Chains A and B, each alone.
Chain A
Amino acid sequence: MNNIDELVGDHLFQLNLILWLTQPITADIGIRPLLADLGFSVYSISPPLALPIHIREKIREMNLSAQDACSPDVLLNRKEADFFLLVECKKSSFGVNSTTAEQARTLLLLEGQVLGESLALSPTTIVDSAVSFVTKEDQRSQMQLTCENLKKEITDKGFKANLAFCFGIKYDPENSVYIEIDSIAANQFGLIGRDSEAIKIIQGQPDTDPRPLYFIPLDPAVEQNEYGKKTLEQRLLGELLSLIGRVKVPSKTLFKVEDLLEKATWGMYNIWGDRDARTHLKRQVKSFLKNKVAAMFPQNFQQDQDAWILNIESPKDKESILSAFQKTEKIEELKITQFDLFEEDKKLLH
């Protein structure tokens, strides 16, 4: 199995990569913040964008197969020109008859002033926009073709459509990661002379996974990967440890599983659309608290319906819980299989 090949097609990697490319970085850490250099910053992550009513009426009238609303993975903004880039990460290209194509049509319809209205911007603001699909480089030409077909279909029916760019992600034998930008996008972004080249965005190292730290650890709407689950697990353990470490002595502190998940995901948990996935995750964390934590410290952790009470009576009490908790490495209830990328390297730590 080629792990890097799998990685560049992974939705969470693509999403976190796009976020890193917008970060203010001047030091050489092996990441080139290409989008920040081009003046982009994150306007919103997964924003719900509804088509204005008159467009919704018209798509019904024209029998255009589009969704009434969609949430691109990231909405970027180039402040100087009120230019918005709707970014959608995809493992592979898709056909014009798929559900994904319905979402893509909506993204294409959110053009200029239509997007401005959806964002509740002032009607006097001149809004410029484009859609960019991020995918593996070997999927890029197919994706471009699909976009062209969808765009033609939309404009043929009398709608305005966004410019559609495709960013291809690829890698080399040294695990460096590149982004390939089509010539229209390159011109639009002022990347003159770079349109036919792949731009190195992560400097690779031999036998090393090139991924950066993840801002977003998990997205239940897409296929999960081990690193994302491991990240969520460690962030949950960290939040629990922080909670215990900061409680007053003596005290009784009430906390909810949802609060832990909210903190561990920086507030993304509550905006995940997949309610079942959220409930499932909540159940897994509850089970960990009940079967592992409360079983070990029955006097200190008591369940109170949907919440937990952390009862600390003395500094010694707190110290022994902290000491035991710091030895916790996993939340097995999250059903995490061992993180297997470059498994050999783990031996170096032991």
Chain B
Amino acid sequence: MIEISLTGIKTREEMIRLLDGYSLERKEELDQKKTKKGLVKSYMLETVDGFQDTATTLSDILTPFAAEFTQIDEGLYKVLDKNTGRYMGFLESFWDGRYFAFYSLELSEIIDKWIKNLVLSSPQLDHVWLSGWTFSILWEKVKDLSNQNRFTRIVFEHESIFEIDSDIDNVDEEDSIDEEERPIFERRSSKIALVDRVRLLKDKLNQFQDLYSPMYSITQLRFPSPVAKGGHDFFHFGKTTNRSESFRDHRSHVLYVLKIYRELIRKTQEIAWYSIQKVSIQKGGEFQKLVGAPLIIKFKEPLTKETFNHFITSTFERAKNRFRLWGNPIRLGPQKVHIYGVDKHLWQPIFLEITDKHIVAIIPKGTCGNTVHRLVSNIQIYLDPAAEITLGEKSYKEIANEAAKGITYE
């Protein structure tokens, strides 16, 4: 039924009308607690920039990977899964195709996997990654922008998967295992959801975080909708679920967060990109100037010897690892390794010093800034939720704060 509706869509207005109407219907069902169809979801995606050796077009990104697109207008496309012949949703391009929002009506269990496969198979496409520290800045925005009596929802997630050596890190996130069949692992694992009025959570969150560090690892946050009940749930991997009755309001929120993220990436690359820059002078030829700053992840408490070793082995000895990193560790001591490796999300180089106390990452120029945010997000979820992050002389939080400044909600 859904695909038939999408097939007939020829203009942006028709898409907006469809998604707005659909959102309203689903919201009514949500209120009656009898949802039958998927909610409208958006997936914030980004493409690599700084590529000198490959020209990036939308067709380069999508066509080889079982997706075909039909242009609706200058920045809007309808996307077809070539294998099934089914329209999966609409892709809206922002800032010359550097960022995308993919809107879909499919059920999460179908579309989450489809998007994941698309990202996995395209070396030029990645999710937008919102770390716990970025969410804490977005939470400040929720506090500032929302009516204080509105309800919000914050989810915190942390699972110390490296405390013991297991194959769990080798398992695809989407592969569901029956709860009863799950092996029992004794390690720290927290998933907490708080739903309450903004005014009640306003001053409490910092106190909760001081008391229980996994609460630094925010993985979901709801922006209450200003137009009616409900809101927009943002997930750490760039997914956003529309639980409001307006698609236009949903899109505004997606665009607002994308603008903040874009600024964050710009600032990250500006500070972190390492290179030996060639500077020409009038005489005497060229000078080689070293520019850049290291990304430093300082663990709140040193990792135990076991956690450190499990982290290294499960990340660098398994092709399918949670962090999607490749490298051959050079051991420099019982708890110190150097890796001159590759981030396999976008196949770009990254150099790492990993010890029980910190990670130092060197991001060579050209490696997308989102590598930093993905790494931070994964470290908070799987290794240390309260790790302190700095980029050169600035704290990550300070950079995220600066990125959010001046971005207005429209």
How many A residues touch the partner, as a band? 35 or more
Q: Are A120 and B333 in contact (CB under 8 A)?
A: no
How many B residues touch the partner, as a band? 35 or more
Q: Are A50 and B124 in contact (CB under 8 A)?
A: no
Interface core residue of A207, A243, A266 (most chain B CB under 10 Å): A266
Q: How far is the CA of A237 from the CA of B60 in the complex (A)?
A: 25
Interface core residue of B54, B121, B336, B341 (most chain A CB under 10 Å): B336
The one of A29, A75, A315, A342 in contact with B331, judged by C-beta atoms closer than 8 angstroms, is A342
Q: What per-residue 1/0 map shows which CB atoms of A329-346 lie under 8 Å from chain B? A: 110000000010110011
Instruction: Contacts A208-B336, A213-B351 given; indicate if A45 touches B329 (C-beta within 8 A).
Output: no
Q: Are B285 and A342 in contact (CB under 8 A)?
A: no
CB-nearest residue of chain A relative to B290? Answer: A42
Q: What per-residue 1/0 map shows which CB atoms of A246-262 lie under 8 Å from chain B? A: 11110001000000000
Instruction: Contacts A205-B335, A213-B362, A246-B54 given; indicate if A227 touches B296 (C-beta within 8 A).
Output: no
Q: Are A268 and B288 in contact (CB under 8 A)?
A: yes
Q: Are B313 and A267 in contact (CB under 8 A)?
A: no
Q: Are B347 and A208 in contact (CB under 8 A)?
A: no
Q: Are B333 and A207 in contact (CB under 8 A)?
A: yes
Interface core residue of A75, A227, A237 (most chain B CB under 10 Å): A237
CB distance from B317 to the nearest CB of A (A): 8
B294 at the interface (CB under 8 A from A): yes
Instruction: Contacts A208-B332, A266-B276, A345-B334 given; indicate if A231 touches B296 (C-beta within 8 A).
Output: no
Q: What per-residue 1/0 map shows which CB atoms of B102-143 lie under 8 Å from chain A? A: 000000000000000000010110000000000000000000
CB distance from A264 to the nearest CB of B (A): 9
B287 at the interface (CB under 8 A from A): yes
Contacts of B287 in A (CB 8 A): 43-44, 47, 75
A49 at the interface (CB under 8 A from B): yes
Contacts of B329 in A (CB 8 A): 349
A118 at the interface (CB under 8 A from B): yes
Instruction: Contacts A208-B332, A212-B353, A345-B331 given; indicate if A238 touches B340 (C-beta within 8 A).
Output: yes
CB-nearest residue of chain A relative to B282? Answer: A120
Instruction: Contacts A241-B342, A268-B288 given; indicate if A120 touches B283 (C-beta within 8 A).
Output: yes
A24 at the interface (CB under 8 A from B): yes
**Which residues 37-86 in B have Cβ within 8 Å of A in the complex?**
51, 53-54, 60, 64-65
A192 at the interface (CB under 8 A from B): no
The one of B289, B312, B346, B362 in contact with A349, judged by C-beta atoms closer than 8 angstroms, is B312
The one of B54, B333, B348, B390 in contact with A27, judged by C-beta atoms closer than 8 angstroms, is B390
Instruction: Contacts A45-B288, A207-B333, A234-B330 given; indicate if A25 touches B349 (C-beta within 8 A).
Output: no
B328 at the interface (CB under 8 A from A): yes
A197 at the interface (CB under 8 A from B): no
Q: How far is the CA of A204 from the CA of B343 in the complex (A)?
A: 29
**Which residues 261-304 in B have Cβ within 8 Å of A in the complex?**
274-276, 278-279, 281-290, 293-294, 296, 298
Q: Are A346 and B331 in contact (CB under 8 A)?
A: yes
Q: How far is the CA of A245 from the CA of B349 in the complex (A)?
A: 11
Q: How far is the CA of A54 from the CA of B68 in the complex (A)?
A: 69
Q: How far is the CA of A213 from the CA of B359 in the complex (A)?
A: 11
B238 at the interface (CB under 8 A from A): no
A148 at the interface (CB under 8 A from B): no
CB distance from A149 to the nearest CB of B (A): 29
A102 at the interface (CB under 8 A from B): no
Q: How far is the CA of A248 from the CA of B278 in the complex (A)?
A: 29
Contacts of A146 in B (CB 8 A): none
CB distance from B20 to the nearest CB of A (A): 37
CB distance from B227 to the nearest CB of A (A): 43
Q: Are A45 and B290 in contact (CB under 8 A)?
A: yes
Q: Are A48 and B276 in contact (CB under 8 A)?
A: no
A156 at the interface (CB under 8 A from B): no
B344 at the interface (CB under 8 A from A): yes
CB-nearest residue of chain A relative to B65? Answer: A315
Q: What per-residue 1/0 map shows which CB atoms of A154-194 lie under 8 Å from chain B? A: 00000000000000000000000000000000000000000
CB-nearest residue of chain B relative to A236? Answer: B340
Q: How far is the CA of A19 from the CA of B346 in the complex (A)?
A: 28
CB distance from B302 to the nearest CB of A (A): 11
Q: Are B293 and A23 in contact (CB under 8 A)?
A: yes
CB distance from A134 to the nearest CB of B (A): 17
Contacts of B360 in A (CB 8 A): 29, 212-213
CB distance from B401 to the nearest CB of A (A): 16
Contacts of B402 in A (CB 8 A): none
CB distance from A255 to the nearest CB of B (A): 9
Q: How far is the CA of A276 from the CA of B326 in the complex (A)?
A: 32
Instruction: Contacts A27-B358, A205-B335, A246-B54 given; indicate if A241 touches B288 (C-beta within 8 A).
Output: no
Q: Are B124 and A246 in contact (CB under 8 A)?
A: yes
CB-nearest residue of chain A relative to B333? Answer: A208
Q: Are A119 and B333 in contact (CB under 8 A)?
A: no
The one of A22, A208, A231, A242 in contact with B348, judged by C-beta atoms closer than 8 angstroms, is A242
CB distance from B241 to the nearest CB of A (A): 31
Q: How far is the CA of A120 from the CA of B288 in the complex (A)?
A: 15
Interface core residue of A48, A323, A345 (most chain B CB under 10 Å): A345
**Which residues 357-372 in B have Cβ within 8 Å of A in the complex?**
357-358, 360, 362, 364
Q: Are B331 and A349 in contact (CB under 8 A)?
A: yes
Q: Are B319 and A50 in contact (CB under 8 A)?
A: no
Instruction: Contacts A42-B289, A342-B333 given; indicate if A48 touches B284 (C-beta within 8 A).
Output: yes
Please name 15 pairs of A and B residues whose Cβ atoms are closer than 8 Å in the assembled complex, sorted by A: A29-B358, A205-B355, A207-B334, A208-B336, A213-B351, A241-B342, A242-B348, A245-B344, A247-B123, A266-B275, A266-B364, A329-B328, A342-B332, A345-B332, A348-B334
Closest 4 A/B residue pairs (Cβ)? A245-B347, A208-B333, A44-B287, A234-B340
Given A26-B393, A266-B274, A268-B288, 13 extra CB contacts under 8 A: A19-B290, A27-B296, A29-B298, A209-B333, A213-B340, A234-B327, A242-B342, A242-B348, A245-B342, A246-B123, A246-B347, A248-B54, A345-B333
Q: A-contacting residues of B (Cβ < 8 Å)?
A: 51, 53-54, 60, 64-65, 121, 123-124, 274-276, 278-279, 281-290, 293-294, 296, 298, 309, 312-313, 317, 319, 326-336, 338-342, 344, 346-349, 351-353, 355, 357-358, 360, 362, 364, 388, 390, 392-393
